[in-house]
Structure 1
């Protein structure tokens, strides 16, 4: 019996090619496993934006803490909306009053009622960081008591009195992180006010012009503490009703005759005459003629000398427009003292450069 013997050869180790292939296999497997493992880990949620806060004192003297910078503002005053636009923050306005909404400068945003009758539901729908309203209007029970429990802060500013305008502009600039722009605006427009007041300061009392100012309603005078009284004083005039015990006194025709003003200025609201874009002054002429023909008023010095003026407060008796308005009054009272002052140019600058609307219309009659 023959036995076959086979010569088996056993190999120890791997060839270079096999080693390379093995390493490649390990790498591919590791990468595949890592990719699978990573997919099993839940993606982290992006962290919530941590907004800073700032505490300010508003014109009602209240300490208020709000998110900073403020990004969404419901403007219950046209004045605050105008300042925000001048600061370059038009997009921050999320709500505006129904009266301001009709003005050519106004943004197309939610209408939130009026300064006197705010629409709380509309305000809430805009999701504002803050609401800006006047110091006196509306009452806290109509606004703060309804909004602040929802985390919506109310800031009270005026912006219609030169006495506090520039301080309030700086405060708004701080709230929206536009302090440099606010400083620039204040320096320029306050410089004009300072120029006017420095000139009239030299006038002796007997040389100062006496003014009867009449508001939107007949015989509604301007008493101490009113915005018009402030403008008259800054322009170097004497308000014939500065001694009134109330801010807006209702006076008699005979009382005006007795006080015999040198100049009469009457304000007209946009409900009577819309100045923007107007070309026909005849409605203003009619108002002026009616004043001059009031019984017994032909004996008043202002009427005798034709110094009766109609001012359209719309888009003029606001924010930096107040400076143009002051310039108009100063030039009416003292034309020789302000030959180099151009109120129309200031008003145009306010409308075109700050609010972005074309200067066109009639705001004072007769033209100064």
Structure 2
């Protein structure tokens, strides 16, 4: 009997030993290294940029360098903050100081301009110390992209063609949404853009029946104008005007005063790339120019383009509002089924979570 008990104890010990070995083998199969790899994978995601590059970035982006000027404001419209932006093009900072972002995003005041030049070039060596999670730049910045890849700083390219094309701008916004895990916010912003474009597209037959005013969009006192390849030409024509500089090559292209006199525009828009005002044309105070014989000047139809969270001259989150503003100047009798002030207020409430004051709205619209 005693021997039987001893044999039974040995068998039980063997069973426990076999069970323990099996558990150890299972743990080995699911050991710390594979678990660690899974955790690492969850920290990253892949974003496909406009060049078709699959860029691995952190799942949670906390530091961004942004070279394209309008995209600081677009990031704010999508993310609701500019706290993730650590460096920008110096032109962004100058725009910020005269826009509503100085009120909405005071955190942006201390963002560095030391890592990006006004020509969009990135100081890659300096960025090694900054260690950003991602650099957002134009697709034509091939040298910067290559240098950033060499030092393992993620670079996500946006389409610079977004500067002349509504659809490409929306593609860029979609990429920003993916970077920030704010896909729905980006989709909502893009859908509003599409809805407004569709509104004007649906009225093209009616526009064709109306007399279209001759329009000139001027960038600066040197007479760089919105030419045939410009974003502004697309919007002018979509909203019922004729861009008199459509036959000029390029995007922003210099012309002569003689050409302006020959075109004799009925409406002139002055950009916010320059500080000039309608009164400068009305009072003929720009040296070397004579505006007195231009119909737009004689009829007091010179308009300064609005500034919201950024100047509306460039593709931005407020481009749909820009279209509505242009439409009511160029075809007021046709585009009279919306109230611009209300639409601007609603946009700021819905997309920027901000209630515009009357004073801010009047300042935006230069009245």
Q: TM-score if structure 1 supplies the norm length?
A: 0.72
Higher-Rg structure is: 1
Q: Which residue number corresponds to residue 18 of structure 1?
A: none
Distance 1:233 1:145 in 2: 38
Pairing 1:289–2:282 present: yes
Where relative contact order (Cα < 8 A, 6+ residues apart) is larger, the structure is 2
**2:135 is aligned with 1:144:** no
- Three-state SS of the structure 2 residue aligned to 1:338 is coil
Deviation at 1:310, TM superposition (A): 1.8
C-alpha offsets along residues 236-278 of structure 1, whole Å, 9 cap, x if unaligned?
A: 2111111113332211111111112221111133x63xxxxxx
RMSD: 3.1
User: How far apart are residue 224 of structure 1 and its match?
Assistant: 1.4
Alpha-carbon separation, structure 1, partners of 2:138 and 2:196: 25
Please say if 1:301 is aligned against 2:292: no
> 2:65 pairs with 70, 74, 80, which one?
74
Q: Distance in 2 between matches of 1:218 and 1:171?
A: 35
Aligned residue pairs: how many? 307
User: Against the structure 1 CA distance between its residues 115 and 296, is the aligned structure 2 distance closer, same or farther, given a 3 Å change threshold?
Assistant: closer
- Aligned partner (choices 333, 336, 342) of residue 333 of structure 2: 336
On the 8 A contact 1:110/1:122 being kept in 2, the answer is no
What's the offset of the Cα at 1:74?
1.6
Q: 2:195 aligns with which of 191, 199, 206?
A: 191
| Pair 1:187–1:264, CA change in 2 (3 A) | same
Could you tell me how far 1:151 is from its partner in structure 2? 0.9
CA distance in 1, matches of 2:171, 2:333: 32
- The runs of 5 or more residues in structure 1 that have no matched partner are 1-43, 273-282
Counterpart of 2:268 (choices 250, 264, 269) is 264
1:316–1:322 Cα contact (<8 Å) kept? no
Distance 2:156 2:48 in 1: 9
Unaligned runs of 5+ in 2: 1-31, 97-101
Higher helix proportion: 2
- 1:169 Cα deviation from its structure 2 partner: 1.6
Map of 1:163 onto structure 2: 167
Equivalence map 1:343-354=2 (5 Å): 343-351=340-348, 353-354=350-351
